[in-house]
């Protein structure tokens, strides 16, 4: 269970990954890692959103 107090941390992590993915010349391995991290954090934020409704 993710507490509502952790949503800002996960949202910040999401924004960081999005910014990294926009970096020109980012190596493929870093893009793959950032994409996986982004997918992971979006699942968490989606679950928190579902729990709030």
Chain segment 2-52, per-residue pLDDT in tens: 788 999 999 999 999 999 999 999 999 999 999 999 999 999 999 888 776
Q: What is the pLDDT of residue 53?
A: 64
Domain parsing of the chain, residue ranges: 4-52
3: left (phi over 0), alpha (psi -120 to 50) or beta: beta
Neighbours of 10 (CB within 10 A): 16
The reported pTM is 0.84
């Amino acid at each position: 269970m993710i507490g509502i107090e952790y949503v800002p941390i996960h949202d910040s992590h999401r924004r960081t990954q999005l910014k990294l993915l926009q970096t020109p010349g980012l190596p493929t391995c870093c893009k793959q890692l950032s994409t996986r991290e982004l997918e992971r954090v979006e699942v968490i934020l989606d679950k928190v959103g579902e729990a709030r409704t």
